[in-house]
């Protein structure tokens, strides 16, 4: 993850966010001082009429949907020069560590042993990548970002791309791509930013700043949890609950003289939004202890549930940090037809498409 933007050699790029509920594809063109949006598409991978229960869904569902997206956007897969996609979930991990200065030829093998101590993936299965962020002048220590995944997960991801008719390109870890969308797209002042990528099944929490220690973790509550909560409370079907969620969010709903709130469940049961706020608070306490800094400037919400009515306000109130839905399109040149369709769930795909070689 670069602090200053590298010069990119590619003319066009594709960012591909294969989420558990939908695929987000962004097609960008490199222009002199940034990027122009050529096209994008968001396509559900859930067969019609099926409830979204990830354990019941086959991983084979992704490739045909992706192939259809390439076709509808008129993208010739054999001509793609710069495709960047991402992987995430339990079998990926990313952590910033500090180590003594080592020359390149010794660094990789030393980091493998270091990674086994810091990252929860067994050594035999582990694929490791790293980036030297800085070397401290006073101590000569190196700050390094370690990223790891399993061979199996990367093979499965590559298979989806190959079956959809394209060759796998650069593969990033999800949380890094979320940070990159912000880093490549915003002129961040000093300070620390908390980015919450609220997907279908999990929320990526990323703490990022130009000089800040990088931190990432997954929180197990997200869009699907909100829907399940509404289904249970209001005895609605999955489709009805999704519709209710989009219309009402987590705002209070008035009912004939008696007011009912989606966020005030009985004392024994925390709501989804309370779980997310609690986990973010816990992570921030841990971060302050580890990094020794608490200069938190903003919480930025991206992902499919970022726009839930009442969500930004609730997070701001609970954490006492200004919170907003992040607009990842802010510095993009774009055709008129996209001007009113700036969806925060495309942040990850945009971060991927903007990534230098």
Q: What pLDDT digit, counting tens, does each position of 7-29 carry?
A: 557 899 999 999 988 999 999 99
Residues 231-246: what's their mean pLDDT? 90
The two structure tokens encoding residue 189: 């002042």
Q: Does 137 score more than 70 pLDDT?
A: yes
Taking only the tens place, the pLDDT of each residue in 30-89 is 988 789 999 999 999 987 777 667 677 788 899 999 999 999 999 998 888 899 999 998
- Say if CB 35 and CB 26 are below 8 A apart: no
Residue 298 pLDDT: 95
Judged against a pLDDT cut of 90, whether residue 207 lies above it is answered with yes
pLDDT in tens, 264-291: 444 447 899 999 999 999 999 999 999 9
Q: Does domain 187-326 have CATH number 3.40.50.2300?
A: no
Max alpha carbon distance in the chain (Å)? 72
Segment 150-165 shows an average pLDDT of 94
Are 58 and 48 in contact by the 8 Å Cβ rule? The answer is no
Q: Is the pLDDT of residue 260 over 70?
A: no
The answer to whether 114 touches 98, Cβ cutoff 8 Å, is no
For residue 226, pLDDT over 70 is answered with: yes
Query: What is the predicted pLDDT for the residue at 105?
Result: 84
Please tell me the distance from the alpha carbon of residue 73 to that of residue 102, in angstroms, as a whole number.
47
- State the Cα–Cα distance between residues 322 and 319, nearest whole angstrom: 8
Name the token pair of 146: 């370690």
> What pLDDT, on a 0 to 100 scale, did the predictor assign at position 261?
52
Kindly report the number of other CB atoms within 10 A of residue 129's CB atom. Answer: 17
306-336 pLDDT, tens per residue?
999 999 999 999 999 999 999 888 888 888 8
Q: Where in the chain is the domain with CATH 3.30.420.40?
A: 1-91+151-186+330-357, 187-326
Q: Among 45-59, 85-99, 110-124, 165-179, name the one with the lowest average pLDDT.
A: 45-59
Residue 118 or residue 347, greater confidence: 347
Topology annotation, domain 1-91+151-186+330-357: Nucleotidyltransferase; domain 5 (3.30.420)
Pair 28, 48: CB distance under 8 Å: no
CA 7 to mean position of chain CA atoms = 24
Query: What is the overall mean pLDDT for the chain?
Result: 86
In Å, how far are 49, 67, 82, 91 from 163, measured between CA atoms? 25, 8, 18, 22
Rounded mean pLDDT, 200-221: 92
Please check whether residue 16 is in contact with residue 84, taking contact to mean a CB–CB distance below 8 angstroms.
Answer: yes
pLDDT confidence band for 182 (50 / 70 / 90): confident
Q: What is the pTM of this model?
A: 0.89
pLDDT at residue 8, rounded to an integer: 54
pLDDT of 121 > 60? The answer is: yes
pLDDT value at residue 339 = 78
């Amino acid at each position: 993850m670069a602090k200053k933007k590298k010069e990119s050699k590619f003319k066009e790029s594709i960012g591909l966010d294969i989420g558990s509920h939908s695929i987000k594809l962004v097609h960008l063109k490199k222009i002199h001082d940034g990027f122009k949006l050529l096209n994008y598409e968001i396509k559900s991978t859930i067969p019609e009429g099926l409830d979204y229960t990830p354990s019941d869904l086959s991983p084979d569902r992704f490739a045909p949907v992706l192939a259809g997206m390439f076709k509808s956007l008129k993208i010739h897969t054999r001509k793609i020069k710069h495709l960047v996609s991402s992987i995430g979930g339990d079998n990926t991990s990313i952590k910033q560590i500090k180590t003594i200065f080592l020359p390149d030829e010794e660094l990789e093998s030393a980091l493998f042993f270091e990674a086994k101590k810091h990252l929860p993936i067994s050594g035999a299965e582990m694929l490791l990548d790293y980036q030297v962020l800085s070397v401290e002048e006073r101590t000569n220590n190196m700050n390094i970002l370690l990223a790891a995944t399993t061979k199996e997960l990367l093979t499965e991801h590559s298979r989806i791309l190959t079956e959809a008719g394209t060759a796998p390109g650069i593969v990033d870890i999800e949380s890094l791509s979320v940070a990159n969308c912000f880093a490549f797209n915003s002129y961040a002042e000093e300070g620390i930013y908390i980015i919450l990528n609220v997907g279908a099944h999990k929320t990526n929490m990323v703490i990022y700043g130009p000089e800040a220690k990088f931190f990432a973790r997954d929180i197990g509550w997200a869009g699907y949890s909100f829907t399940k909560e509404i289904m249970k409370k209001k005895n609605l079907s999955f489709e009805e609950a999704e519709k209710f969620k989009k219309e009402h969010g987590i705002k209070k709903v008035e009912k004939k003289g008696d007011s009912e709130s989606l966020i005030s469940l009985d004392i024994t049961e925390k709501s989804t939004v309370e779980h997310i706020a609690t986990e973010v608070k816990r992570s921030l306490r841990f971060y302050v202890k580890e990094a020794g800094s608490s200069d938190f400037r903003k919480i930025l919400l991206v992902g499919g549930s970022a726009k839930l009515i009442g969500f930004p306000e609730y997070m701001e109130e609970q954490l006492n940090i200004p919170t907003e839905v992040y607009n990842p399109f802010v510095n993009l040149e774009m055709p008129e037809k996209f001007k009113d369709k700036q969806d925060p769930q495309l942040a990850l795909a945009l971060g991927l498409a903007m990534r230098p070689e």
